[in-house]
Amino acid sequence: QKEVEQDPGPLSVPEGAIVSLNCTYSNSAFQYFMWYRQYSRKGPELLMYTYSSGNKEDGRFTAQVDKSSKYISLFIRDSQPSDSATYLCAMSAAGGTSYGKLTFGQGTILTVHP
Amino acid sequence: DADVTQTPRNRITKTGKRIMLECSQTKGHDRMYWYRQDPGLGLRLIYYSFDVKDINKGEISDGYSVSRQAQAKFSLSLESAIPNQTALYFCATSDLGTGGRDEQFFGPGTRLTVL
């Protein structure tokens, strides 16, 4: 079983829809949780970053972390065609030999059609 | 101007050939990483380096080697390429921020095909 599981999709939604992307994980040492966005033929770029449990909002994007359930989510409100990309969740542990190393989910391909 | 550059961007080679992928960064970061990306498998860590004298194996290091020539340069080599090393390869850099935040910045990737 992979340490981080992410539904690969693909996910296709109409413009304006609310999108929910999710990851589950098994390593209880993970403390830092990230969402990266990757456009076609580009490298991933950090979209959202959260530490431990809770919510973080940035414009149309909201990241949620539930450490008790080992579950993280990214919500995109009023989705736009420009949101079409692959979304990767990533996590890292605090301290020890895992410090600074990211473990990625498989990525979810999202298409927002006009 | 790109902060993290990778060369070449595309490469087609034959089984058994030695290949080197190069990564340079102008961000002044100490930490550098090599990942490969395969459809349905996400990004998997091959090697990472936290400074010039520190090289560590990642999740899938077999068949690969690396060299950290300077703070700004980190090369990945395939000593004898095989077809299942066909993938998209990414270099990334980071610098440990306040509170342990470790945002990684990725290069544009190298698409490698081994025939």
Identity (one letter) of the amino acid at B42? G
Predicted confidence (pLDDT) at residue A59 exceeds the cutoff of 80: yes
User: What number is the average pLDDT over the span B63-73?
Assistant: 96
Task: Please tell me the distance from the alpha carbon of residue A56 to that of residue A61, in angstroms, as a whole number.
Answer: 8
Kindly state the tokens that stand for B101: 């935040």
CB contacts < 8 A, A to B, total 61
Kindly state the tokens that stand for B29: 């970061």
Q: A6 by DSSP, 3-state: which?
A: strand
Between B97 and A19, name the one with better pLDDT: A19
Which residues on B lie below 8 Å from A106 (Cβ)? 40-42
In this complex, the residue of A34, A41, A43 whose CB is nearest that of residue B106 is A43
> By the CB < 8 Å criterion, does B97 face chain A?
no
pLDDT of residue B97: 62
pLDDT band of residue A16 (cuts 50, 70, 90) is very high
pLDDT of residue A54: 86
Which residues on B lie below 8 Å from A102 (Cβ)? 43, 45, 102, 104
Distance from CA of B19 to the nearest CA of A (A): 21
Are the Cβ atoms of A44 and B100 closer than 8 angstroms?
A: no
Pairing of strands A11-14, A108-113: parallel
Between B59 and A13, name the one with better pLDDT: A13
User: What number is the average pLDDT over the span A3-32?
Assistant: 93
Predicted confidence (pLDDT) at residue B73 exceeds the cutoff of 80: yes
**Number of DSSP helices (H) and strands (E) in chain B, helices first:** 0, 11
Distance from CA of B41 to the nearest CA of A (A): 5
Radius of gyration of chain A measured on its C-alpha atoms: 14
Are the Cβ atoms of B102 and A94 closer than 8 angstroms?
A: no
In this complex, the residue of A34, A43, A100 whose CB is nearest that of residue B109 is A43
pLDDT tens column, B20-47: 999 999 999 989 999 999 988 889 999 9
pLDDT of residue B40: 80
pLDDT band of residue B101 (cuts 50, 70, 90) is low
Residues in chain A: 114
Task: Please tell me the distance from the alpha carbon of residue B27 to that of residue B20, in angstroms, as a whole number.
Answer: 22
pLDDT band of residue B98 (cuts 50, 70, 90) is low
pLDDT of residue A9: 83
Kindly state the tokens that stand for A61: 């994007």
pLDDT averaged over every residue in chain A: 91
Are the Cβ atoms of B108 and A44 closer than 8 angstroms?
A: no
Are the Cβ atoms of B101 and A94 closer than 8 angstroms?
A: no
pLDDT of residue A51: 84
Q: Which of residues 1-60 of B touch A (CB under 8 A)?
A: 4, 31, 40-45, 48, 50, 58
pLDDT averaged over every residue in chain B: 92
Kindly state the percentage of chain B with pLDDT values over 90.
Answer: 78
Angle at A47 between CA B57 and CA A90, to 5 degrees: 35
Strands (E) located in chain B: 4-7, 10-13, 19-25, 31-38, 42-51, 54-57, 64-70, 73-78, 87-94, 104-106, 110-114
Distance from CA of B44 to the nearest CA of A (A): 7
pLDDT band of residue B1 (cuts 50, 70, 90) is low
